[in-house]
Amino acid sequence: MIRVLVVDDDFMVARVHRGFVDRVPGYQTVGVVHTGADALAQVEALRPDLVLLDIYLPDFSGLEVLRRLREGGGDGPDVLAVTAARDVSTVRSALHGGVVHYVLKPFTFDVLRDRLERYAAAYGRLSETTDVEQADVDNLFAALRTAAAPLPKGLTADTSALIAAAMRACDGDLSAGECAERIGLSRVSTRRYLEHFVTAGKAEVRLRYGSAGRPQRRYRWAG
Residue 141 included in any domain: yes
Residue 116 included in any domain: yes
* pLDDT tens-place string over residues 65-104: 999 998 866 678 999 999 999 999 999 999 889 898 899 9
* pLDDT tens-place string over residues 51-70: 999 999 999 999 999 999 98
127 and 190 housed in the same domain: no
16 and 71 housed in the same domain: yes
51 and 104 housed in the same domain: yes
Q: In the prediction, which pLDDT does 150 show?
A: 67
51, burial (CB in 10 Å: exposed 0-12, middle 13-18, buried 19+)? buried
**Count of structural domains within the chain:** 2
CB-based burial, 138-171: b 16+ in 10 Å, e otherwise:
ebbeebbeeeeeeeeeeeeeebbebbbebbeeee
Q: In the prediction, which pLDDT does 127 show?
A: 63
Question: Which one of 94, 122, 145 terminates a domain?
Answer: 145
Q: Confirm whether pTM is higher than 0.75.
A: no
Q: In the prediction, which pLDDT does 32 show?
A: 98
103 and 191 housed in the same domain: no
213 and 128 housed in the same domain: no
Q: In the prediction, which pLDDT does 171 show?
A: 84
120 and 11 housed in the same domain: yes
127 and 18 housed in the same domain: yes
Residue 150 included in any domain: no
Q: Which CATH number goes with the domain that contains 184?
A: 1.10.10.10
Given pLDDT bands bounded at 50, 70 and 90, which one contains residue 180?
very high
Given pLDDT bands bounded at 50, 70 and 90, which one contains residue 46?
very high
127 and 162 housed in the same domain: no
Residue 91 included in any domain: yes
Question: Taking Cα atoms as reference points, which of 81, 141, 15, 165 lies closest to residue 197?
Answer: 165
Higher-pLDDT residue of 80 and 212 is: 80
* pLDDT tens-place string over residues 119-150: 887 777 666 666 767 766 666 666 665 555 56
113 and 194 housed in the same domain: no
Q: Which CATH number goes with the domain that contains 71?
A: 3.40.50.2300
Residue 29 bridge partners (DSSP): 4
200 and 115 housed in the same domain: no
Q: What is the mean pLDDT of the chain?
A: 87
141 and 161 housed in the same domain: no
Question: Taking Cα atoms as reference points, which of 191, 49, 23 lies closest to residue 126?
Answer: 49
6 and 77 housed in the same domain: yes
Domain extent for 131 = 2-145
Question: Which one of 90, 117, 145 terminates a domain?
Answer: 145
Residue 7 included in any domain: yes
Region 204-217: mean pLDDT is 81
Question: Which one of 125, 145, 165 terminates a domain?
Answer: 145
